[in-house]
């Protein structure tokens, strides 16, 4: 964990704390920050950026093409984990009110970030509205209808009901964080009960189709009542759940099941891209698995994430050397400033698409903008780390015991 009084590079501080953990016994929650979390959240940020650039060949490397779950699952889980890790400590040390207030402040920061992204979206769509008049796409231009009544749309956007595409994740986070203080409290008092309540809410959501309304129609693309399961599960793992599960997680049988499930998901996902493959998938199987519902976090997606996590835990142990090296640093540092880097990533994916439309859609440019985007994300994350260090040293900075909010669950 990085705190203002250890202005050393993040990687180093992570190692120090990690090695300190072994001395303290018992719950992981009370000990050092697991760099794997930052690594995989950083990875999720990169993948989300690549996936958000339309028609990007580079996005073929992202995990959504090889199974049911995608970067969103990693992101929500890790964010739940880190939120519980940071704010849980806060709640134990300084009480419910202080921790709750900080969680709500984080939700506010994310709201502001969302409005900022919406402004960028408005700029982009207004530009397209003026410049684009290809008669082939007269129908698609109806997407600009909302510009005709900004009085309604902008207010709906501020109410988080009108959400342009690719801008659904932050609103999900805001809701998850708003609900988080009581859940975090319950997780600390009765962890199993809290997890049970989360599962119950998930089941009831599926049963009764609960969701929040959207404008102009429909519901939230990431249903908070369903996706909370992954967030709370992440939090539960952070507060000792992972420890309790470790026997199951390390067993050969679990690994075998996970690998088999990943293979199954891989075969199914092949049938989406290889025409002709789908006739080899028995229709009985199709009947059962489809539709794989992203809105309500389909059980198949959740299971796919779990399987990925099980396999990952086997191959990337907590003290893996790799995590400390400079090769892991670009991912780790992005994962440590998730909110800023997520917003930057959404902006960069707009910009990359803009470059592809205005300059060239050639494959070289796709590689170039993908690589440049990731480079900018890493550079920005490095810069933010540098700023934080400056602030940590400067007089009148925050008290030492405050954990760094950026390491907490926000982020997108």
**Residues within the interface to another protein (CB under 8 A):** 52, 54-55, 124-125, 128, 131-143, 163-166, 214, 216-219, 221, 272, 275-276, 278-279, 283, 286-287, 290-291, 293-295, 349-350, 353, 356-357, 359-362
How far apart are CB 58 and another protein at their closest, in Å? 15
Q: Where are the alpha helices (DSSP H) in 274-362?
A: 283-289, 299-315, 329-336, 338-358
Exposure class string for 357-385: b at 16+ Cβ within 10 A, else e = eeeeeeeeebebbbeebbebbbebbbebb
How far apart are CB 289 and another protein at their closest, in Å? 10
Nearer to another protein, 12 or 165 (CB): 165
Nearer to another protein, 139 or 252 (CB): 139
Nearer to another protein, 131 or 394 (CB): 131
How far apart are CB 333 and another protein at their closest, in Å? 27
How far apart are CB 145 and another protein at their closest, in Å? 8
Nearer to another protein, 246 or 362 (CB): 362
- With left for phi above 0 and alpha for psi between -120 and 50, is residue 26 left, alpha or beta? left
What residues have CB less than 8 Å from 98, skipping those under 6 apart?
90, 91
DSSP string, 343-410: HHHHHHHHHHHHHHHHT---HHHHHHHHHHHHHHHHHHHHHHHHHHHHHHHSTT---TTPPPGGGSS-
How far apart are CB 83 and another protein at their closest, in Å? 27
Nearer to another protein, 23 or 136 (CB): 136
How far apart are CB 74 and another protein at their closest, in Å? 19
DSSP state of 7: -
What residues have CB less than 8 Å from 109, skipping those under 6 apart?
339, 405, 410
Nearest to 354 by CA among 123, 191, 148, 23: 123
Q: 10 Å Cβ neighbour count for 55?
A: 10
Nearer to another protein, 90 or 168 (CB): 168
């Amino acid at each position: 964990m990085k705190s203002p009084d250890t202005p050393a590079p993040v990687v180093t501080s992570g190692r120090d704390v990690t090695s300190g953990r072994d001395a303290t016994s018992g719950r992981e929650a009370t000990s050092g920050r697991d760099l794997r979390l930052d690594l995989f959240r950083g990875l999720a940020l990169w993948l989300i950026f690549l996936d958000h650039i339309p028609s990007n060949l580079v996005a073929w490397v992202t995990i959504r093409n090889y199974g049911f779950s995608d970067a969103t699952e990693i992101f929500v889980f890790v964010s739940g984990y880190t939120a519980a890790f940071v704010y849980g400590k806060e709640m134990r040390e300084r009480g419910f009110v202080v921790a709750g207030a900080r969680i709500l402040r984080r939700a506010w920061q994310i709201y502001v970030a969302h409005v900022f992204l919406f402004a960028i979206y408005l700029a982009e769509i207004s530009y397209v509205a003026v410049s684009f008049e290809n008669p082939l796409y007269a129908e698609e231009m109806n997407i600009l209808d909302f510009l005709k009544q900004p009085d309604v749309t902008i207010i709906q956007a501020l109410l988080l009901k009108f959400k342009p595409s690719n801008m659904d994740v932050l609103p999900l986070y805001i809701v998850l964080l708003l609900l988080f203080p009581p859940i975090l409290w319950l997780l600390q008092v009765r962890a199993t009960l809290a997890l049970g309540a989360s599962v119950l809410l998930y089941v009831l959501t599926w049963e009764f189709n609960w969701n929040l309304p959207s404008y102009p129609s429909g519901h939230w693309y990431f249903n908070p009542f369903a996706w909370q399961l992954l967030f709370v599960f992440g939090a539960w793992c952070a507060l000792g759940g992972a420890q309790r599960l470790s026997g199951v997680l390390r067993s050969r049988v679990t690994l075998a099941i996970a690998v088999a499930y990943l293979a199954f998901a891989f075969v199914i996902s092949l049938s989406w891209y290889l025409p002709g493959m789908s006739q080899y998938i028995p229709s009985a199987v199709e009947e059962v698995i489809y539709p794989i519902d992203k809105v309500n976090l389909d059980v198949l997606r959740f299971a796919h994430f779990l399987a990925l996590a099980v396999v990952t835990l086997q191959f990337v142990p907590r003290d893996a050397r790799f995590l400390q090296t400079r090769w892991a640093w670009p991912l780790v540092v992005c994962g440590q400033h998730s909110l800023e880097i997520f917003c930057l990533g959404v902006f960069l994916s707009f910009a990359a698409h803009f470059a592809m439309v205005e300059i060239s859609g050639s494959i070289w440019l796709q590689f170039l903008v993908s690589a440049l985007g990731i480079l900018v994300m890493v550079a920005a994350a490095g810069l933010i780390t540098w700023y934080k260090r400056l602030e940590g040293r400067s007089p009148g900075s925050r008290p030492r015991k405050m954990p760094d909010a950026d390491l907490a669950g926000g982020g997108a």
